[in-house]
Amino acid sequence: NAARRIVLTGAAGGIGTMTRPLLAKLYPGLVLSDRVTPPDLQPGETFLAADLTNPDEVAAVLKGADGVIHLGGHSVEGTWDQILQANIVGCYNVFEAAREAGVKRVIFASSNHAIGFYPRKKRIGTNLTVRPDSRYGVSKVFGEALGSLYSDKHGIAVTCLRIGNVGPRPLDVRRLSIWISPRDLVQLFRIGLDHPDLRYEIFYGASDNAAGWWDNSRAEQLGYRPQDKAEDHRAHAEAEQAKIGPDPVGDLFQGGTFCSAEFTNDV
């Protein structure tokens, strides 16, 4: 009764580092991958180095895998070439290697920046036109579309998580609406890896946030019961916000500073 082989790309990154210990308990066959070895690699953890832009290296990592949690890539706005290589080419290589290796489940780390130009005053679900706020956001929309293709055409069960911001607590007022704790995010990973009826889903990666902008009822239907609430950290978030000051464009939109960067339109 071999443990299921679940591959975590981007294992040395921020979310990988925060979720690895929880995932290791749930999936004893967990395989970590990144370009660089995680500095805190534990005895008993399996690590395979791969550059996502190299199809052969990605194929070697996904060989024999049952599922992949794809966190790897460029995690903020970047130059077109950075985004193209890490998030467009890299994401394609992961889905192609998954198809080739017969991997049954893919979790794709999408982002709130796929819909960042929705105004903060609008509550949104997942059944709507995307409004990316950056080249980075466009790359996340690309990953969601690729996931839809590989689900319909190749029968891979794909879960796209439009992740807000992961951390021990919300960093500012915007994050009171989009924050998710590591353990709540792991709950969403589990639904994507384990739910029996899943084909293609988009969920929001947010905890139980009173100030939230997103209707996450589909995730709740499939069993999501977030345990953490941003509101418990309001005082901290407001104190941090006071240090930042106003952003006349970013403060209007869900994506915040990703919207105001390089902005030349009228509001």
CA distance 208 to 218: 14
Size of the site for ligand 15L (CB under 6 A): 6
Quote the radius of gyration of the chain (alpha carbons, Å).
18
Identify the active-site residue in 118, 136, 204, 224.
Answer: 136
Considering only 90-98, 108-116, 191-199, 244-252, which stretch makes contact with ligand 15L by CB under 6 A? 108-116
CA-angle at 170, arms to 166 and 173, nearest 5°: 130
CA distance 20 to 176: 24
CB 111 to ligand 15L: min, Å: 4
* Sign of the alpha-carbon torsion through 153, 73, 11, 219: negative
Is 112 an interacting residue with respect to ligand 15L (CB under 6 A)?
A: yes
Please report, as a single letter, which amino acid is at residue 119. P
CA distance 248 to 257: 10
DSSP labels, 224-251: ------GGGGHHHHHHHHHHH---TTGG
CA distance 67 to 23: 13
CB 136 to ligand 15L: min, Å: 7
Which CB sits closer to ligand 15L, 55 or 250?
Answer: 250
Considering only 25-33, 41-49, 106-114, 184-192, which stretch makes contact with ligand 15L by CB under 6 A? 106-114
DSSP 254: T
Could you say which of 165, 177, 187, 207 contacts ligand 15L (CB under 6 A)? 165
CB 250 to ligand 15L: min, Å: 11
CB 8 to ligand 15L: min, Å: 16
Tell which phi-psi region holds residue 262, choosing left (phi > 0), alpha (psi between -120 and 50) or beta.
left
CB 185 to ligand 15L: min, Å: 12
| Residue 224 is a catalytic residue | no
CB 207 within 8 A of CB 226: yes
CB 76 to ligand 15L: min, Å: 5
The footprint of ligand 15L on residues 76-105 (CB under 6 A) is: 76
Is 111 an interacting residue with respect to ligand 15L (CB under 6 A)?
A: yes
Q: Which of helix, strand or coil describes residue 81?
A: helix
Could you say which of 70, 113, 131, 135 contacts ligand 15L (CB under 6 A)? 113
Is 254 an interacting residue with respect to ligand 15L (CB under 6 A)?
A: no
Considering only 111-119, 228-236, 239-247, 259-267, which stretch makes contact with ligand 15L by CB under 6 A? 111-119
Which CB sits closer to ligand 15L, 175 or 229?
Answer: 175
Report helix, strand and coil shares of the chain as percent, to nearest 5. Answer: 40, 15, 40
Q: Which positions lie near ligand 15L, rule CB under 6 A? A: 75-76, 111-113, 165
Give catalytic residue positions. Answer: 136
